Amino acid sequence: MADDALERAVRTFLEACGRDLDHPDLVRTPGRVAALWRSQFLEGYTMDPAEILGDPVLGEGRTDLVVIRNLPFHGMCPHHLLPYQGRATVAYLPSDKLVGFGRLGDLVRCFTRRLTLQERAANDVADALVEHLGARGSACIMVARHACLSIPDDKHDAEVVTASFRGELEDRPDLRDRLLPSL
């Protein structure tokens, strides 16, 4: 993505809104917005889940469930270009490969820092764990607050919960229920 193209697009948007780009508050806004979008809302497009989950550690025995909770994330709704933010729980049933806990947070970041729906990001995380780690099962549960829900409709306390389960976690309600937040 060309740096100057994104900055030009922001400039054009502000001009279309009737804003004076020579106003002291707006002089550097196109560059700041472009930099913020590249680093915070579009960074995931430069990340590769296979690379994030690459170089796993071989397990020394069967591990029944690996869970990491409260992974912070934020994303950008592709329908309104408004942000959402929340926390994710990521779980997997390893086959013979284990991955560092920090990499699970990186995987969430990979799929949420894109123009994507929360539901799709949860699906992508769960799928990547099966595809790239060979996990026997995986799950991603995301709880978030969406500006596109709270701003126009004043639903400020509304939380969106999405959950994706794959493999054995899809078939085992005993494990699935342990992962879901109380609703």
Q: Are 162 and 119 in contact (CB under 8 A)?
A: yes
Q: How many CB atoms within 10 Å of residue 5?
A: 10
DSSP string, 121-143: HHHHHHHHHHHHH--SEEEEEEE
Token pair of 23, please?
């106003």
Domain boundaries, the chain: 3-41, 54-179
Residue written as token pair 């509304």: 158
pLDDT digits (tens, 9 = 90+) for 23-62: 999 999 999 999 999 999 999 999 999 999 998 888 776 6
Q: Are 71 and 108 in contact (CB under 8 A)?
A: yes
Look at residues 34, 126, 116 and name the one whose alpha carbon lies nearest to residue 74: 116
Token pair of 34, please?
């472009």
Q: What is the per-residue pLDDT for 166?
A: 97
Categorize the per-residue pLDDT at 96 as very low, low, confident or very high, splitting at 50, 70 and 90: confident
Domain 54-179 has CATH 3.30.1130.10: yes
> Is a pLDDT exceeding 60 seen at residue 182?
no
Residue 113 DSSP code: S
Q: Mean of the pLDDT values across residues 9-25?
A: 95
d(CA 126, CA 123): 5
pLDDT digits (tens, 9 = 90+) for 115-168: 999 999 999 999 999 999 999 999 999 999 999 888 877 777 889 999 999 999
Categorize the per-residue pLDDT at 2 as very low, low, confident or very high, splitting at 50, 70 and 90: low
Q: What is the per-residue pLDDT for 183?
A: 47
